[in-house]
Amino acid sequence: MTPKETAEYMFGKDLFSQWLGIELIDIKTNYCLIKMPVKTEMINGLGTVHGGVTFAFADSALAFSSNNTGEAAVALNCYINFTKAVRTGDVLTAESILLTDTRKTAVYDITIKNQNDEVVAGFRGTVYKIGKKITEL
């Protein structure tokens, strides 16, 4: 399968990413760009998007970029920095870029922006390659 076909295969099984409203925009080897509308039910008690939603969105980008070669990888360590408030009606994009790659691990940098091309969060994720094909899981 191509990286795009692999990501689409994963997305078809990823009910959580579907529930978030994620759309696959651009998929290349170890890279992805995804999009998500911010819905009312994603808003916290302070009137901004819940941090867990932004983290989950970035985590989906990590999954679609780190697994699109067909080799399964799972998150080992992730962290996020929130830099701008996100509100209902915003449309977010997450771009995941491979930084380093070894035999068993890889590190990805994910930048999350709003519809005005403003950075709203930065996420870094390390994945562990489990030695299986995603189609075996």
Indicate the SS3 state at residue 99.
strand
Sheet harboring 23-28: ordered strands across?
Answer: 23-28, 31-37, 91-101, 105-113, 119-133, 71-82
Per-residue pLDDT tens for 88-126?
999 999 999 999 999 999 999 999 999 999 999 999 999
- How many CA atoms lie within 13 Å of 68's alpha carbon, on the beta-carbon side? 25
**pLDDT tens digits, residue range 48-100?**
999 999 999 999 999 999 999 999 999 999 999 999 999 999 999 999 999 99
Place of tokens 């911010």: 38
Whole-angstrom distance, CA of residue 53 vs CA of residue 44: 10
The rounded distance, in Å, linking the Cα atoms of 129 and 120 is: 29
Regarding pTM above 0.95, the answer is yes
Q: Are 62 and 21 in contact (CB under 8 A)?
A: no
